[in-house]
Each structure stands twice: as structure tokens, then as C-alpha cells.
Structure 1
Amino acid sequence: MEHRAGSPQLLRQINDRAALLALLERGPLTRLELESQIGLSKPATADLLLRLERDGQLRRAGFREGGKGPRAQLWSVNGALAHVAAVDLTPQGLDVAVSDLRGEVVAEHRHRARKNVDLGVEDLRLSVSVAAAEVGLTAGQLRRVVVGLPGSVDRRTGYLGFAPHLPAWQGFDVLERLAGALGTSVAVENDVNLVALDEMAAGQAAGVDDFALIWIGQGTGAAVVSDGRLLRGASGGAGEIDWMPSPTPPATGAHAVPPRQRVGDMLSNDALKELARAHGLAGDDVEGIVSGDLDADPATRAAFLREVARRVALAVAGVVSVVDPELVVLAGDVGRAGGSALCDLVAGELAELVLPRPRIQPSLVTGNPVRSGALRLALAGAREEVFAIPS
């Protein structure tokens, strides 16, 4: 909207920011379309576009085709104003993406860990540097780097916790070490929290302020969003349900399983393979068994899926009874493979355990949601810096 109070310089900055954010959110727009989005007059919008083009913040992006009359000029944000990197770090490898300020991925690099070799800070630095070099940049020229990993950084000490599977990252201030190695601003976020950010932006949780995301796959974890904000906890350990004590899952008939002490034990790939074998379902592909892609008797698979749902419900119950979310999203390889069928079974089991009645839905995001969530977080910070309005 066009502001009429305050200094002309501040009003211009506010209008510029509104225009830039509209172009980032909706892609290239014509002058008329931008007028409609930000509420400025035709002359004011035309002046804004030419001024921001002269300053290097906007560029011409072709023409809008297909309409009546002359073709309309399209305008877009100059993505080269800043670049960011997102990193998905696991014990198995590194997955890096470099994006321009518009969110267009311009470079990627993947590095697989060698057998019996732990990936460390130097491996990450090299991977980010390789990806940045593809677009003629050094790591230090990136505006921001966000690293997603299966663990949590304690904001008070900078130490990584809940991550015994990443031994090379223990015993030092991770943020300080990474910032020094890369020469730029660095943030480290729990991988499941980043999946939740991606789900909020482009999945089941779009427009939902209170939800929990449960990750079941390579590891078990949770993310909790309350009033639109991630809950991280005092030491960053909110959502680490892998370590949460759990009662022995209910079993039926001859399919009893040994008592297990933690949620992570109950829902690990090995535990689900064991459960599948107890039902007479052969194979090591847990995702295929859960999804029904493998050739199996439907009744046998249904019985197996019910017991998986019991285990998931026990894990979800502890979260739901405390935070009372509107929605629970099942994510990860197993969560997605189970789809609506698993979600419906979990909802039924959960109704027997707790009073809240959240919707249970499968994740909708695809690709690498950890890297995608890290990229969203990096872009949000970079855009705030580039387009900030002085106080």
C-alpha cells in the first residue's frame, strides 16, 4: 500500500520492500500486476521499477505473452544480489545446494562418506566451496549457509547434542567452527525441524499454526510448531523422541516382540523388519512392505500395518497429550510410505490413548525436505538482510 505518513525516504524504503517481496513471492510481474499487489499508483509504480532497476535490485524478465494488446514487460528481482547455501549433513554424506536470492538453485554438490570415515568440518567446507565455485563464488561470498543435521546445537554452548552418530562434530562450538571455516554467516538446525519448515511452506501444514511432524525412517524424531513458531527447547532438544521411553507396544497372537526401551528402538528399521518377519513378510525393504508395493497377502500386510500404527501412536501420544496440535504429519520414508492408510490407523489407535483428536496426515513434500527447509531458512535470513528497513 502507498504510505502517506513519515519521512519520504522511509516511505520509499517501505514501498520498495513491499514490491521486492511481492516479486519474490509471486515471480515475475508486470507493472499493472505489481500495482495491484502493493497498491501504488501507476506513476509511483513506474518510478519504483525504473529506480530499482537502476540500483541493480530488479531486472527485466521478458514479456507477458497471450494477452490482448501490446506485450507487457515483466520485472523480477535480481537473483545475483545474494547467494545462499543449504546443506543436508548425515553420517552417509553431504548434499549441498546453492541458490540465488530468488530461490533458484544454481549449483548442487553431493559427497558420499567413505566407509569407516567420519565426515567433519573440513569435508563440509570443501563441499560448499565446490558448489559455490560452480557459479564463480567462494564460500565466503555466500550471504548465509544453513546446515541441517540429525542432532541439535545447544544455543548456550554451541555444542552438538543428541548426535552420537556424528562423532567428528562433538566437543566444540559448532557454529563458531563452521563460521570460521566458511568465512560467512552460518546457522545449524535440526533436520526434522527443517522438514517441518518445508511442510509449512509447501505441504500439509500450510496455513496451520499448531502442528507436530513425526519423522519415521532413518532415525525417529519430531518437530513441534506452536503458534507458527518452532519449539526448540532450552538445549535444542525439543522433539528428540527417539530417546523417549516407551512402553512395550501392544502385540497380538503369535506376533509378540521383545520389550523395547525407547521410541527409537520401537520404530527403527531393524525393529520394523523384525515385526515384518514375525508376520511372515520377507525382505529388507521396510518402505516397500509398508507401502504395499511388494507382493504380499493383503490380510497379512494389513495386520502388520495395524501393529506399525500401534507403535507410531504410542510415539505420537506423548507429543499430542502435551502440545495439543491441530495436525500431526507423518514424514520420513516409513511415514510417507504408509500414506493415508497408516494415518487412519494411527488416528484410531491414538483415540484410545489420549484426549486430543488431531488430524493425522501423510507428508506432501518430496525430494530432500531437509535441504529444502534449510534453503528456505537461509533465504529468509538473506532477504531480511538485503531488504531490511533501517529503524
Structure 2
Amino acid sequence: MRAGSPRTLREMNDRAAIEALLRNGPLTRAELEAAIGLSKPATAQLLTRLEQENLVGKAGERAGGGRGPRAQLWAVNGGLAHVAAVDLTPQVADFVVADVAGAVLAEYRVQLPVAEDADVVGSFGQALRRVAKAAGLQLDDLANVVIGAQGAFDPRTGLLSSAPHIPGWLGFNVPKRLSDELGVTVKIENDVNLVAVEEMTVGNAQDVDDFVLVWLSEGVGGAVVIGRRLLRGATGGGGEIDWMRVPDAATVDTGDRWPQAGARFGNLVDSAAITRLAKAHGISADSGWDAVTQARRGAHQGFLDDLARRVASGVASLVAVADPQLILLCGETSRAGGDEFAAVVAEKLHELVLPRTPVGVASVQGNAVRAGALQSALATAREDVFGVVTPTLLGPRRSAGELAPSPTE
């Protein structure tokens, strides 16, 4: 193996140090030394060099044990770049602005118009300016903005689809229009894909290369991760599991009459379908998660078994093709079922496929869509500022010239 040049090794060490500081937050010299495996003199020289380049700076002190001296803390210079992330739903748009180190500077929640004739771009820009101002910034101070939306995004055209709940955002090249009118780079991503990003970053998929995320809530969604990268597909439809055709494995008659080709997976396990299944089992519920909660409290195992059979029937197709290391259930219905329901799904799944793929529940709390959008925005900014590449969070970059024009442009 040929040794690298001094400059190459220095750059590698610098990136390793910055990655450690971004991952762990402020560290002492000794802690950084242990994290990146350099000697004490080499780490001291590295910190001096990065401080001179304004990439890192002193960040207070950490108290030592007993009466010993306090140790100097070092941190990445978060002010080198700023990003914004948004969870866009018909009910509320949830904004956050952070510096490149990940420190949250401002948050803002507002209901934006989403009707077909609404000025969605203007309203979005107004809200973004407000949260940027609250963070002490202008729009052009933002390195990039990532939006999470309930729908499929086609990177070739910039169009959203499968999003009838936000009709005002359909029919135009969303990232191009927003980027052009706001003067800041804007990207849009499927909301469940962003939940997968957050789960890879801080959740139960941190140490997993290949996994599938199944979102069970009012509607149904999914994300497929292969080799620590999101599978987006040629048209952005990767992971749209609600369109899979599967048989109804329930043991009771819910009154539904599915096509001969099978039911849409989304029509079997969305909230409305689960409440009908619950009713057939003698449970009156207002939502899918309410039905699951009642079933667990009342020991309605027949209902939980039938629901698990439906979920497993869809997941089995994914396991047969992708053979992932892990299936993670998320969304309100999955949270209501918890580990107990995940275990039942695993049992039914293992009756259908050979791999003994574990089934668990996603662990991220709070607004995982916004959190995943923030992680994605930070990954891009950190690559641009520090040269730190995070393949877990970055999909293939496409230049503006690679995007086909929108039908309305």
C-alpha cells in the first residue's frame, strides 16, 4: 500500500477531526486525540491549523476532576453556514433554522395556504424570511433549504405527485421555482425518506446498512435504504409501498371488495381500513391508532393478528426482493402498537418468507420529518464548507441542467 502525501494525510486528519466535532459536539484536545487516533503533538498542531483557518474555535472549558485545571473545549465554527428545514403538511408548515454545526437558531410553525389557486411560493417565502430574521439572518445567508412533503418527488422534472392534499404545490418545478424566486437553493424530499434519514442518524438504524421503513398513520408510506443510501428510483417513486398489490390476509369480512389483482397495500393498512377491520372484530374506533390502542388494552388478539397479517403481506414482497437487515415500523399506528405489535408482524412475516428479518419500531421522537430534513440540509452544507461527505444522507446530486423543464415553464 503506497503511503499518501503529507498534504493528503493532513487533509484526511483535518476532515476526521471536523467529523468528530460535528458528531460529538465540543471536545477537549485529549478527547479529540482519542477520537481520531493522533498523537498529542499532532492533535495540537491540527487544532492550531484549523483555528487559523477559522474552521474551529474555542468553546469554553470542561471542568476537570477534583481540583485539577479545566480543559479547553474546541468546536466547529457553526457560523460558517446556515440552513433551513421544513416539514410541509396541509395543517402546518414547521420551519427550523440552524448553523452548520447543527445548533438550532430559530423555529416557526404556521399554516400555509395549499389550495390550487393559492400563492404557495409567495407564502412559503414570507414564512422563510420570518424564521430567518428570527435567527438574525437574511434569506441569502442560507446555504440551502430542504422541504419534507407528503408525496413523491420526481428529480427529473421537479414535480410533486401523489399529493392531492397540497394541490397548490402540484404542476410546477417546485425546487427550481422556489430557488429562483427566493434566491436560495431549495430541495424537496418525501417525508418518509426524511424519517429514514433521521433514523439512520440518531435512531435504531444507525448501524444498519439495509433497512425498510414502513409508515402507518392516516396514510401509508415507506422508505427503502440500501447500502446506507435512500432508494429514490428513476422517477422518485422508490419506497412508495402504498401502491403495491397484495392479497387481503384478514380472517374476517370487512365489507371491502378488492380487485382480482389484489388490494393496494395502502388501502389495506391506512387508518380508514384499520378502523373497518377493527369494527369487524367488534372494536369501535376513531382512527387506526385508536383501534390498535384499544385492542392492546382489551386483549383483542384476533384484530392485532389480522392487522399484522396485512402488514406482513406487504412487507414480505420487500423482504423477498431487497433482503434488508431490518424492518422498522413508524407513524401513529405503529407507535400505538409498540414492540408488542412489531413482534406479531415479525411472526406473520416469517410465515411468508425465508429470511428471519427482525421487525422493530422506529425510535426517533418529535417531528422526525423536520429533523430528517435538517440532517439532509446540514449534510450538503458540511460537504460544501468542510469537504465532509456523509453518504448516509446525500442522494446523487443533479445539476439544474439535468432536470427536465416543468410543463408550465
TM-score past 0.5 threshold: yes
Question: Does residue 215 of the first structure (1) align with residue 215 of the second (2)?
Answer: yes
Q: CA 1:215–1:54 in 2, change beyond 3 Å: closer, same or farther?
A: same
Q: CA 1:291–1:88 in 2, change beyond 3 Å: closer, same or farther?
A: same
Counterpart code for 1:263: F
Q: Separation in 2 of the partners of 1:198 and 1:318?
A: 25
Q: CA 1:119–1:271 in 2, change beyond 3 Å: closer, same or farther?
A: farther
Question: Does residue 332 of the first structure (1) align with residue 334 of the second (2)?
Answer: no
Q: Separation in 2 of the partners of 1:358 and 1:257?
A: 32
Q: Is the 8 A contact 2:218 2:272 kept in 1?
A: no
SS of equivalent residue, structure 2 residue 245: coil
Q: Is the 8 A contact 1:93 1:119 kept in 2?
A: no
Q: CA 1:121–1:56 in 2, change beyond 3 Å: closer, same or farther?
A: same
Counterpart code for 1:313: A
SS of equivalent residue, structure 1 residue 354: coil
Counterpart code for 1:25: R
Q: CA 1:330–1:282 in 2, change beyond 3 Å: closer, same or farther?
A: same
Q: Separation in 1 of the partners of 2:220 and 2:370?
A: 18
Question: Does residue 179 of the first structure (1) align with residue 179 of the second (2)?
Answer: yes
> Which residue number in structure 2 is paired with residue 34 of structure 1?
32
Counterpart code for 2:268: M
Which of 262, 279, 282 is residue 280 of structure 1 equivalent to? Answer: 282
> Which residue number in structure 2 is paired with residue 154 of structure 1?
154
Question: Does residue 24 of the first structure (1) align with residue 13 of the second (2)?
Answer: no
> Which residue number in structure 2 is paired with residue 297 of structure 1?
298
> Residues 62-81 of structure 1 correspond to what in structure 2 (within 5 A)?
62-68=60-66, 69-81=68-80
Quote the offset at 1:168 in angstroms.
1.3
Counterpart code for 1:222: G
Counterpart code for 1:202: V
Q: Is the 8 A contact 1:82 1:382 kept in 2?
A: yes
Counterpart code for 1:55: E
Question: Does residue 267 of the first structure (1) align with residue 263 of the second (2)?
Answer: no
Q: Is the 8 A contact 2:28 2:73 kept in 1?
A: yes
TM-score, normalised by the number of residues in structure 2 = 0.86
Q: Is the 8 A contact 2:339 2:360 kept in 1?
A: yes
Quote the offset at 1:277 in angstroms.
2.4
> Residues 344-383 of structure 1 correspond to what in structure 2 (within 5 A)?
344-383=343-382
Deviates more, 1:232-241 or 1:315-324: 315-324
Q: Separation in 2 of the partners of 1:241 and 1:328?
A: 13
Quote the offset at 1:271 in angstroms.
1.6
Q: Is the 8 A contact 1:287 1:333 kept in 2?
A: yes
SS of equivalent residue, structure 2 residue 223: strand
Counterpart code for 1:342: F
Task: Show structure 2 runs of 5+ residues with no match.
Answer: 389-409
Q: Separation in 1 of the partners of 2:310 and 2:122?
A: 39
Describe the superposition over 1:76-102 as per-residue Cα deviations: whole angstroms up to 9, x where unpaired.
Answer: 112111111111112222111111111
Q: Is the 8 A contact 2:112 2:123 kept in 1?
A: no
SS of equivalent residue, structure 1 residue 143: strand
Q: Separation in 1 of the partners of 2:82 and 2:241?
A: 35
Q: Separation in 1 of the partners of 2:218 and 2:124?
A: 21
Quick one: percent identity of the two aligned structures?
Answer: 49
Q: Is the 8 A contact 2:87 2:149 kept in 1?
A: yes
Counterpart code for 2:190: N
Q: CA 1:138–1:272 in 2, change beyond 3 Å: closer, same or farther?
A: same
Deviates more, 1:374-383 or 1:49-58: 49-58
Quote the offset at 1:35 in angstroms.
2.0
SS of equivalent residue, structure 1 residue 176: helix
Question: Does residue 144 of the first structure (1) align with residue 133 of the second (2)?
Answer: no
Q: Is the 8 A contact 2:274 2:291 kept in 1?
A: no
Task: Show structure 1 runs of 5+ residues with no match.
Answer: none
> Which residue number in structure 2 is paired with residue 250 of structure 1?
250
Deviates more, 1:179-188 or 1:209-218: 179-188
Q: Separation in 1 of the partners of 2:3 and 2:226?
A: 36
Counterpart code for 1:236: G
SS of equivalent residue, structure 2 residue 370: helix
Deviates more, 1:353-362 or 1:377-386: 353-362
Quote the offset at 1:285 in angstroms.
4.3
> Residues 80-119 of structure 1 correspond to what in structure 2 (within 5 A)?
80-113=79-112
Deviates more, 1:147-156 or 1:47-56: 47-56
Q: CA 1:166–1:4 in 2, change beyond 3 Å: closer, same or farther?
A: same
> Which residue number in structure 1 is paired with residue 56 of structure 2?
58
Q: Separation in 2 of the partners of 1:114 and 1:4?
A: 58
> Residues 188-203 of structure 1 correspond to what in structure 2 (within 5 A)?
188-203=188-203
Question: Does residue 166 of the first structure (1) align with residue 166 of the second (2)?
Answer: yes
TM-score, normalised by the number of residues in structure 1 = 0.90
RMSD: 2.3
Deviates more, 1:117-126 or 1:263-272: 117-126
Quote the offset at 1:67 in angstroms.
2.1
Counterpart code for 1:240: E
Describe the superposition over 1:151-175 as per-residue Cα deviations: whole angstroms up to 9, x where unpaired.
Answer: 2222222222222322112222122
Q: Is the 8 A contact 2:272 2:287 kept in 1?
A: no
Q: Separation in 1 of the partners of 2:119 and 2:365?
A: 26
